[in-house]
Amino acid sequence: MREYLLTLCVTAAVTYLLTGPVRKFAIVAGAMPQIRARDVHREPTPRLGGIAMFFGLCAGLLVASHLTNLNEVFEKSNEPRALLSGAALIWLLGVLDDKFEIDALLKLGAQMIAAGVMILQGLTILWLPIPGIGTVAVTPWQGNLITVALVVITINAVNFVDGLDGLAAGMVGIAATAFFLYSYRIWYGYGAEAAAPATLFSAVLIGMCVGFLPHNMHPARIFMGDSGSMLIGLVLAASAVSVTGQLDVEALNVDLGGARETTHAMLPVFIPLLMPLTIIAVPMADLILAIVRRTWRGQSPFAADRGHLHHRLLEIGHSHSRAVLIMYFWSALIAFGALAYSVNSASMWIVLGVVVLSAVGLLLLLLPRFTPRAPRWAEAFVPPRYRRRKAVKASQEPEAGRPAPEGLPAAGDPQEAAAGLATATAGVSGVSGVNGATALGHRTRTGDRGKAGSTR
Query: How confident is the model over 54-86, as pLDDT tens digits?
Result: 999 999 999 999 998 898 889 888 899 999 999
Is the predicted pLDDT of residue 448 greater than 60, yes or no? no
- Distance from C-alpha of 433 to C-alpha of 413, rounded to nearest angstrom: 33
Looking at the fold, whether 44 and 163 belong to one and the same domain comes out as yes
Is residue 170 within 8 Å of residue 213, measured between CB atoms? yes
Looking at the fold, whether 204 and 292 belong to one and the same domain comes out as yes
Cα four-point dihedral sign 63, 64, 65, 68: positive
pLDDT tens by residue, 430-447:
434 444 444 334 434 334
127-130 and 134-137 strand pairing: antiparallel
- Distance from C-alpha of 197 to C-alpha of 179, rounded to nearest angstrom: 12
Q: Which of 236, 173, 241, 183 is nearest to 207 (CA)?
A: 173
Question: For the residues 17-22, what does the mean pLDDT come to?
Answer: 94
105 domain residue, yes or no: yes
Known binding positions for Mg(2+): 159, 226
Looking at the fold, whether 229 and 330 belong to one and the same domain comes out as yes
Q: Using alpha carbons, list the distances in angstroms from residue 247 to 142, 153, 187.
A: 17, 22, 10
- Domain stops at, among 297, 324, 339: 339
Is residue 454 within 8 Å of residue 398, measured between CB atoms? yes
Could you give the 3-state DSSP secondary structure of residue 452? Answer: coil
pLDDT tens by residue, 360-375:
877 777 666 555 566 6
The pLDDT value given to residue 298: 76
pLDDT tens by residue, 217-250:
878 889 898 999 999 999 998 988 887 766 665 5
Is residue 321 within 8 Å of residue 314, measured between CB atoms? no
The pLDDT value given to residue 104: 84
Question: Residue 166: pLDDT band by 50, 70, 90 thresholds?
Answer: confident
Residue 332 is given by DSSP the state: H
Residue 136 is given by DSSP the state: E
- Domain stops at, among 298, 323, 339: 339
The pLDDT value given to residue 443: 38
Looking at the fold, whether 283 and 421 belong to one and the same domain comes out as no
Looking at the fold, whether 106 and 231 belong to one and the same domain comes out as yes
Is residue 245 within 8 Å of residue 125, measured between CB atoms? yes
Burial 310-339 (b: 16+ CB within 10 A, else e): bbebbeeebebeebbebbbbbbbbbbbbbb
Looking at the fold, whether 172 and 259 belong to one and the same domain comes out as yes
Looking at the fold, whether 214 and 317 belong to one and the same domain comes out as yes
The pLDDT value given to residue 334: 82
Looking at the fold, whether 179 and 294 belong to one and the same domain comes out as yes
- Distance from C-alpha of 219 to C-alpha of 222, rounded to nearest angstrom: 9
372 domain residue, yes or no: no
Known binding positions: 159, 226
Q: Which of 82, 56, 55, 80 is nearest to 70 (CA)?
A: 80
Looking at the fold, whether 91 and 207 belong to one and the same domain comes out as yes
Phi, psi of 134 (to 5 degrees): 110, -150
- Distance from C-alpha of 75 to C-alpha of 78, rounded to nearest angstrom: 8
The pLDDT value given to residue 42: 60
pLDDT tens by residue, 384-417:
655 665 444 444 444 444 444 444 444 444 444 4
Q: Using alpha carbons, list the distances in angstroms from residue 182 to 3, 199, 276, 377, 448.
A: 17, 8, 10, 48, 68
The pLDDT value given to residue 245: 63
Rounded to a whole number of angstroms, the distance between the first and last alpha carbons of the chain is 65
25-33: long-range contacts, CB 8 A cutoff, minimum separation 24:
25/51, 26/98, 26/222, 29/99, 30/99, 31/98, 31/99, 31/225, 33/101
Looking at the fold, whether 321 and 439 belong to one and the same domain comes out as no
Beta-bridge partner residues of 135: 129
Is the predicted pLDDT of residue 279 greater than 60, yes or no? no
Residues in the chain, total: 456
- Domain stops at, among 339, 361, 380: 339
Give the number of domains in the chain: 2
- Distance from C-alpha of 269 to C-alpha of 185, rounded to nearest angstrom: 10
378 domain residue, yes or no: no
Mean pLDDT of the chain: 74
344 domain residue, yes or no: no
pLDDT tens by residue, 106-138:
999 999 999 999 999 988 888 776 655 666 778
Among 36-50, 58-72, 99-113, 254-268, where is mean pLDDT lowest? 254-268
- pTM for the predicted model, two decimal places: 0.71
The pLDDT value given to residue 409: 46
- Distance from C-alpha of 280 to C-alpha of 287, rounded to nearest angstrom: 10
126 domain residue, yes or no: yes
What are the DSSP calls for 46-96, one per residue? ---THHHHHHHHHHHHHHHHTSTTTHHHHHH-SHHHHHHHHHHHHHHHHHH
320 domain residue, yes or no: yes
Domain range enclosing 209: 2-339
Looking at the fold, whether 222 and 319 belong to one and the same domain comes out as yes
- Distance from C-alpha of 123 to C-alpha of 147, rounded to nearest angstrom: 9
- Distance from C-alpha of 247 to C-alpha of 244, rounded to nearest angstrom: 6
Cα four-point dihedral sign 338, 339, 343, 349: negative
The answer for residues whose C-beta is within 8 angstroms of residue 179's C-beta and 6 or more apart is 198, 202, 236, 239, 240, 243, 275, 276, 279, 335
381 domain residue, yes or no: no
Could you give the 3-state DSSP secondary structure of residue 302? Answer: coil
371 domain residue, yes or no: no
The answer for residues whose C-beta is within 8 angstroms of residue 211's C-beta and 6 or more apart is 11, 12, 13, 14, 15, 16, 19, 52, 53, 56
Looking at the fold, whether 36 and 139 belong to one and the same domain comes out as yes
Q: Which of 140, 125, 9 is nearest to 64 (CA)?
A: 9
